[in-house]
Amino acid sequence: MSPLSNQAQTSSAIPASQTTWIKNPLDVFSGAISGPDAERDLRGGIVIQGSQIIECIAAGQQPVTAVDQQLDASDMVLLPGLINTHHHFYQTLTRCLPAAINQPLFPWLQTLYPVWAGLTAKHIEVATEIACWELMLSGATTVADHHYVFNHALSEAIDIQAEVVGRLGVRATLTRGSMSLSQKDGGLPPDSVVQTEQQILDDSLRLIKRYHSAEQGSMLNLALAPCSPFSVTESLMCDTATLAKEQGVRLHTHLGETIDENDFCLRTLGMRPVDYLEHCGWLGPQTWLAHGIHFDQTEIQRLGAAQVGIAHCPTSNMVLASGICPTLDLAKAGCKLGMAVDGSASNDSSNMIQELRHSLMQQRLRYRADQITHQQVLNWASQGSAAALGRDDIGVLAPGKQADIGLYKLDGLNFSGAHDPLAALILCGASQVSTLMVAGKWIIEDADETRAQLEQLKLQHHQLAIQLVN
């Protein structure tokens, strides 16, 4: 059933000329925690036209614009669509693999690389679909993926992902990942999952030309993402930075995740990861890093001065016992702090709203309770994540921004007795949206119905997961 009322319009796409008032939400968060976007009163709701928000309404006020239809949101909390800045969709197929669980990053990867070497086009397609639905059902309207496993039979992984995200209607940043340093050359991955530098650079250029759209409201950004210092050659890191600059796309990699990575860099490159980043031409605002944990204070200042983005992945960092990201220090220094669930083999879920709860709890162990609020983690997952992905058209509820929103009903037992609805979303542990809109289109109109429709896909995914490990 459509959540819309008053007019007969029930289409999930709002025609460009139509206006919709998301009316009187129970509570609302704009995405910002300082400045004019944080101070604006949104308790009367927002008006959407086409793919954009055109009006924000103060409590008790009516829209100035004539509205064609309304959605009564008085029993729902309104958030900007959450933005996931780092994932490995294919890892949904290797969640909780007994041989891999209970290990830190390096042995965990070495256990999983040979399994991932068996990925086929079908695995990529179905895993991408499952991960995207899991993210969307948990409130994400923009998803980023870091696909870096290109076995010898699988060259079209990003093309498959581009087809799936386009079909689902979710906004995406797809990164062309890569590995070029195998065990025989002193790296961590086996030969079966690395490519030559030329193969990687040629395919990167092909994908940028085919899919990257940089305009406001873009549904698909492409970025380049050599995997990590221990799986990529130095020359590929440098050449990728040059290509990204020539083509005007962003750069992404894993950095500062573990002490083992620091040791690897010192031993094989003779420098620490941030020096390596600078040496390869990566230390700038075009770069966002997954994890960003093991930096000293001087390195944090250098990353901040360069306005590097950080994909903070608290659950994965706890599961792999990697460490605790110095979020507030990085943000204070000038880094753009975003949030991510990381790959589903190190999480082992892709639930974006639950990630915020984990972040709040983990970060309170490092900082004071009054410094890590529910608004702070919500801000990282919206405005902060948008900045990390280099976007200023999403992540905030304000006129002129894209109409990407999530609405949450607090009807579970876990919310009973909660006083502050916005705080309850994080502290009582929300796990699912009720409805979700991307670029003015209802992607999820009724989450329970959507879940029911995904049963067949789930079965197929589970069978593919079993087949992959056998």
Ligand X SMILES: Nc1nc2[nH]cnc2c(=O)[nH]1
Estimate the crossing angle of helix 455-469 against helix 121-137, to 10 degrees.
Answer: 130
H or E element at residue 461: helix 455-469
Shortest gap between Cβ of 105 and ligand X (angstroms)?
6
Shortest gap between Cβ of 290 and ligand X (angstroms)?
7
Shortest gap between Cβ of 316 and ligand X (angstroms)?
5
Q: What is the DSSP string of 28-57?
A: E--S-SSSHHHHS--TTEEEEETTEEEEEE
Q: Which lies closer to ligand X via its Cβ, residue 2 or residue 111?
A: 111
Cα 163 to Cα 51, 141, 179, 216, distances in angstroms:
21, 17, 23, 21
Number of Cα atoms under 13 Å in the Cβ half of residue 435: 21
* β-bridge pairing 309-312 and 69-72: unpaired
Q: Are 308 and 53 in contact (CB under 8 A)?
A: no
Q: Which lies closer to ligand X via its Cβ, residue 51 or residue 287?
A: 287
Closest CB to ligand X belongs to which residue? 254
Q: Which lies closer to ligand X via its Cβ, residue 103 or residue 431?
A: 103
Which residues, in sequence order, are CB contacts of 419 under 8 Å at separation 6+? none
Shortest gap between Cβ of 153 and ligand X (angstroms)?
20
Q: Are 171 and 143 in contact (CB under 8 A)?
A: yes
Shortest gap between Cβ of 395 and ligand X (angstroms)?
24
Which residues form the interface with ligand X (CB under 6 A)? Answer: 88, 105, 109, 227-228, 254, 257, 316, 342-343, 346
Q: Which lies closer to ligand X via its Cβ, residue 254 or residue 357?
A: 254
Which two structure tokens, joined as six digits, stand for 386?
A: 């948008």
Q: Which lies closer to ligand X via its Cβ, residue 92 or residue 228?
A: 228
Shortest gap between Cβ of 289 and ligand X (angstroms)?
11
Q: Which lies closer to ligand X via its Cβ, residue 70 or residue 84?
A: 84
Counts of helices then strands in the chain (DSSP H, E): 17, 17
Shortest gap between Cβ of 370 and ligand X (angstroms)?
30
Q: Which lies closer to ligand X via its Cβ, residue 111 or residue 375?
A: 111
Give, in degrees to the nearest 5, the angle at Cα 392 between 388 and 396.
Answer: 95
Q: Alpha-carbon distance 365 to 375, whole Å?
A: 17
Q: Are 68 and 293 in contact (CB under 8 A)?
A: no
H or E element at residue 241: helix 234-247
Q: Which lies closer to ligand X via its Cβ, residue 254 or residue 336?
A: 254
Q: Which lies closer to ligand X via its Cβ, residue 231 or residue 450?
A: 231
Shortest gap between Cβ of 261 and ligand X (angstroms)?
8
Shortest gap between Cβ of 347 and ligand X (angstroms)?
9
Q: Which lies closer to ligand X via its Cβ, residue 227 or residue 437?
A: 227
Please identify which residue in the block is written with the tokens 């993210």. 135
Q: Alpha-carbon distance 218 to 171, whole Å?
A: 8
Cα 297 to Cα 293, 303, 461, distances in angstroms:
11, 10, 44
Q: What is the DSSP string of 200-225?
A: HHHHHHHHHHHH---STT-SEEEEEE
Shortest gap between Cβ of 233 and ligand X (angstroms)?
15
